[in-house]
Amino acid sequence: MGHVLTNGAATLTETGAERSASLLGALDPRARILAALTYGITVVALDTLPALTLALTLSLTLLALSGLPAGRTLKRVAMVDGFILFMLALLPFTVPGDPMFTLFGYPASWQGLARAIDIGLTANAVVLALMVLVGTLEPVTLGHALHRLRVPETLVHLMMFTVRYIEVLREEYLRLRAAMKVRGFRPGTNWHSYRSFGYLVGMMMVRAIERSERLLGAMKCRGFSGRIVLLQEFRTTRADTLFALVVLACLIALAAVDLTWR
């Protein structure tokens, strides 16, 4: 699959800067993946507001060092917040504690508000760090790095094919929708619309199966035997070592702040 995406291809978040345009872009992808993993685990384990605030500050610092467009990246983080906003709004009313106010007979507690703030800070810090450290990697580079980290090849294959063919399926969907519009289809709240969308999903599945069979045949013709052929070698440099030490120091600082304020 090395020919599918090259160094100029889109990154996972589609906001990635060029590798040479940022300090993080020149780092070993394996170091970035491990840093994101350890950072995420550490931040999730934090409980105090000062430590979580510091974690979010560190994530914003990574964003500044990455060379990503801040506005567009933060907008994507806000889109993620939309999925948990409803839960955060309900926490003050579901966590028992000292009441702040009462809404329609339901008291909202200060403890619930604190829990909602903690979850919001944790989610934003982790998501932003993942977008900066891992989301700016090209899918093929990410797959090669995961393979070098001894991740099972089957999982790496699934990840690489999924990233590659999400856009292919999207284009197939757009073609089918365009064909439906040409034939006069207008969606509505009726059985005809429901049946039409059912046929659309079914046709996408049929075409996806046919495409996968053609793809498998083409890969076998090119000698694919189920093994990943690596097109690049990763080498640990002094910059990677320095980055690992800085990340370790930051994690120790987060843990120390969290323990101090408990």
Q: What confidence tens digit (pLDDT) does each residue in 129-160 have?
A: 998 888 888 888 888 888 888 888 888 888 88
Please check the confidence at residue 5 and state whether its pLDDT lies above 80: no
What's the Cα-to-Cα distance from 62 to each of 23, 24, 123, 181, rounded to whole Å? 10, 8, 16, 45
Neighbours of 139 (CB within 10 A): 20
Q: What is the token pair recorded at 120?
A: 């919001």
13 or 101: which leads in pLDDT:
101
pTM: 0.73
- What confidence tier does 257 reach under pLDDT thresholds 50, 70, 90? very high
Q: What is the mean pLDDT of the chain?
A: 81
Looking up tokens 């101090």 gives 260
CA 180 from chain centre, in angstroms, equals: 33
pLDDT in tens, 66-75: 878 888 888 8
Rounded to whole angstroms, how far apart are CA atoms 192 and 48?
A: 54
224 or 181: which leads in pLDDT:
181
Question: Among residues of the chain, what percentage have pLDDT more than 90?
Answer: 16
Q: Are 211 and 125 in contact (CB under 8 A)?
A: no
pLDDT of residue 2: 41
22 or 119: which leads in pLDDT:
119
Contacts of 16 (CB under 8 A, 6+ apart): 10, 68, 135, 136, 137, 138
Backbone φ, ψ for residue 150 (5° rounding): 70, 25
What's the Cα-to-Cα distance from 232 to each of 26, 141, 144, 196, 197, rounded to whole Å? 14, 9, 8, 46, 44
pLDDT of residue 34: 92
Neighbours of 203 (CB within 10 A): 14
Rounded to whole angstroms, how far apart are CA atoms 12 and 109?
A: 39
pLDDT of residue 231: 65
Rounded to whole angstroms, how far apart are CA atoms 102 and 112?
A: 13
pLDDT of residue 224: 77
pLDDT of residue 245: 93
Q: What is the token pair recorded at 110?
A: 């200060």
Please check the confidence at residue 14 and state whether its pLDDT lies above 60: no
8 or 177: which leads in pLDDT:
177
Q: Provide the 3-class DSSP secondary structure of residue 237.
A: coil
pLDDT in tens, 43-52: 999 988 899 9
CA 200 from chain centre, in angstroms, equals: 28
Q: What is the DSSP letter of 17?
A: P
Question: Among residues of the chain, what percentage have pLDDT more than 70?
Answer: 90
Q: What is the token pair recorded at 188?
A: 């509505």
256 or 80: which leads in pLDDT:
256
Strand 106-109 to strand 99-103: parallel, antiparallel, or no bridges (unpaired)?
Answer: antiparallel
pLDDT of residue 20: 36
Rounded to whole angstroms, how far apart are CA atoms 228 and 143?
A: 9
Contacts of 78 (CB under 8 A, 6+ apart): none
